[in-house]
Amino acid sequence: MKKKLSECKKACVVRVTKLNADAELKQRLISFGVMKDVIVEVLEYAPAKSTIEIKVGNTRLALRAKEADLIEVEKI
């Protein structure tokens, strides 16, 4: 089942299936290790759900909610 990263609950582990971002944001996400077929774990949400903290490998990364909306994932 495909969904957006922003729709995942805390402690959810998913596989990235597609990046729907523009070229600049896509390049930035890839530089942090967020790319197709990578496993991502949702660690935390900011109180207002304006940001989401994820773990990619050994790296922790904070994304804006609108950036997380552009990342399609599937549960593994």
Domain CATH code at residue 9: 2.30.30.90
Residues of the domain holding 62: 2-75
- Residue 65, SS3? helix
Cβ atoms of 3 and 72 within 8 Å: the answer is yes
Percent of all residues in the chain with a pLDDT value above 90, rounded to a whole number: 92
Distance set, CA 50 to CA 24, 66, 69 (Å) = 21, 8, 11
Q: Which residue, chain included where needed, has tokens 């109180």? A: 47
Q: pLDDT-derived band of residue 2, with 50, 70 and 90 as boundaries?
A: confident
The total domain count for the chain is 1
pLDDT at 16: 98
